[in-house]
Structure formats: structure tokens, C-alpha cells
């Protein structure tokens, strides 16, 4: 059973102002799939191998605060301040190879994801995936979840001038979709990603799949949910439906 997180009045208002909604942007890791446990395992094992923290395994709290949702070069620099760029990026690349090998068998969608995707398609909304993950990882996860035909564009943080928490990846997603931030919202699971979405001028639905709810709220999340079956999410979507229908009818009329 899904547990709904409290939805404040100001959160509802931030989404009602979007009407008519025209687009939805999704992060990938931890947002459409619960991949953080796989990333955590890969980091924990590899960091132990190189003697990080005197060989003591990193905790989930450490992973959440310093690694989750962040850009690989930034993670490498933070973990290994005494290593040169090539050395810590080699470590990060090897970690991604391990993640991909594990993800092929372990990756699962966040509860209710496909129900939400069908709702988005049925209402004719534009959609893109926006991630700090390397392109190979992102494409693997999207394919594994059966969403290769769902997303119209895939934006990679490292291929933008600046990755999340800067707004550049989300601004690129809006540009590719031809969408306005005034009529678009974001799904994210990390503080870094939420800050990026907010900086790009959009309200963000924060998924408390792994990161603490207060951290997501402090980062600027407008609505916090446990998964895509959350009643608060569906109440918000149903409130937006009339304006979406009117917008579609107007678009159809202009085509005739």
C-alpha cells in the first residue's frame, strides 16, 4: 500500500499555476527506478577495495549526502581530493561498468511508474528524461524499464555546459521539447536534482524513495511522494486534467 505524504496548500497552488500543463521532465536514477541500492553497493565495494575511509564501508547516510544525484566528476573530486582527474575518473568509469552489470538483473521500476506514463501519453504531454548519469547507463535503464519509446528526448548532464544542480540540463530539456517552464513540472529524487529543477523555474515533485523527506523539502520540492501510486500525486494530476483537455481541443481546432 502506498503512503501519501502531506501536501501543503502552497504546494497545490504551485501546480495549479501550471495549467495547462504541456510537458513533464523526469530524472532517471531513483526517480523512475530504485537504482540507488545498486549504486550504493557498487560504490561501497569499490571504495573498500581502494582503502577509502581506512577500508571501512561507507554508510547509506554517507552515500545519500555526498554521492546520490551528483555528477561523476564532482563525486570523484570529493572522494579523492589528492588524486588527479584521470585517476578518479577511471575509478568512476569502472564503477559505472559494475553498476551496469548489476542493473541488468536487478533494476525495477518505481511503483506506479507505468500507470503514470500511460496517463502522460493519454493526455498528450511532451516528456524527456534529464539525468546526471552517463549516457550508456541512462540508455540501459530506460531500455530495461521499457521506456525507450516513451521519452522523446534524453538529456545528459555531462553533455551540457553545467550538470545538475545547475539548471542547464533541465533548460536543455525544455528547449528540445519546445516547452515553457510555466507549463512544465519535474519528477526528482535528490536534493541536487530538485535544486536544478527549481533553478530552471519549474515546480518539482520529490520522490522520497531513498533520500530523507526533509532534505527534499529543504531543496525546494513542492510535493513529496513515496511513489507514483501516491494519492496526493493523483489528486494533483486530476485537478490539472480539465485544462489539459481544453488545450488539446484548442490544438486540434487549430490544425483543422
Catalytic residue ranges: 27, 29
Return the ∠ at Cα 35 (arms to 228 and 160), rounded to 5°.
95
**Sheet of strand 153-156: strand arrangement:** 153-156, 126-131, 23-26, 184-188, 204-207, 223-225
CB atoms near residue 118 (< 10 Å): 11
Cell of 230: 501516491
Instruction: For 17, list phi and psi in degrees, rounded to 5.
Output: -70, -15
How many whole angstroms separate alpha carbon 187 and alpha carbon 193?
Answer: 9
How many whole angstroms separate alpha carbon 123 and alpha carbon 68?
Answer: 32
Return the ∠ at Cα 195 (arms to 18 and 127), rounded to 5°.
45
Under 8 Å between Cβ of 200 and 179? no
Return the ∠ at Cα 238 (arms to 234 and 244), rounded to 5°.
130
Handedness of CA 154, 158, 159, 160 (dihedral sign): positive
How many whole angstroms separate alpha carbon 69 and alpha carbon 79?
Answer: 15
Under 8 Å between Cβ of 10 and 235? no
Amino acid at each position: 500500500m502506498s503512503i501519501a505524504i502531506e501536501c501543503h496548500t502552497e504546494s497545490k497552488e504551485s501546480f495549479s499555476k501550471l495549467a495547462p500543463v504541456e510537458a513533464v521532465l523526469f530524472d532517471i536514477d531513483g526517480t523512475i527506478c530504485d537504482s540507488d541500492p545498486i549504486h550504493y553497493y557498487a560504490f561501497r565495494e569499490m571504495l573498500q577495495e581502494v582503502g577509502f575511509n581506512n577500508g571501512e564501508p561507507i554508510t547509506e547516510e554517507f552515500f545519500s549526502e555526498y554521492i546520490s544525484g551528483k555528477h561523476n566528476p564532482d563525486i570523484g573530486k570529493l572522494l579523492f581530493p589528492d588524486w588527479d582527474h584521470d585517476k578518479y575518473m577511471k575509478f568512476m568509469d569502472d564503477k559505472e561498468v559494475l553498476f551496469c552489470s548489476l542493473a541488468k538483473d536487478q533494476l525495477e521500476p518505481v511503483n506506479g511508474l507505468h500507470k503514470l506514463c500511460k496517463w502522460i501519453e493519454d493526455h498528450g504531454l511532451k516528456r524527456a528524461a534529464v539525468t546526471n548519469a552517463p549516457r550508456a547507463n541512462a540508455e540501459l535503464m530506460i531500455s530495461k524499464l521499457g521506456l525507450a519509446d516513451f521519452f522523446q528526448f534524453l538529456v545528459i548532464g555531462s553533455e551540457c555546459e553545467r550538470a545538475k544542480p545547475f539548471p542547464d540540463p533541465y533548460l536543455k530539456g525544455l528547449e528540445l521539447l519546445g516547452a515553457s517552464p510555466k507549463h512544465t513540472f519535474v519528477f526528482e529524487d535528490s536534493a541536487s536534482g530538485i535544486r536544478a529543477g527549481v533553478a530552471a523555474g519549474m515546480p518539482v515533485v520529490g520522490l522520497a524513495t531513498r533520500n530523507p523527506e526533509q532534505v527534499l523539502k529543504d531543496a525546494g520540492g513542492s510535493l513529496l511522494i513515496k511513489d507514483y501510486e501516491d494519492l496526493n500525486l493523483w489528486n494533483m494530476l486530476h485537478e490539472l486534467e480539465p485544462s489539459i483537455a481544453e488545450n488539446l481541443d484548442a490544438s486540434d481546432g487549430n490544425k483543422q
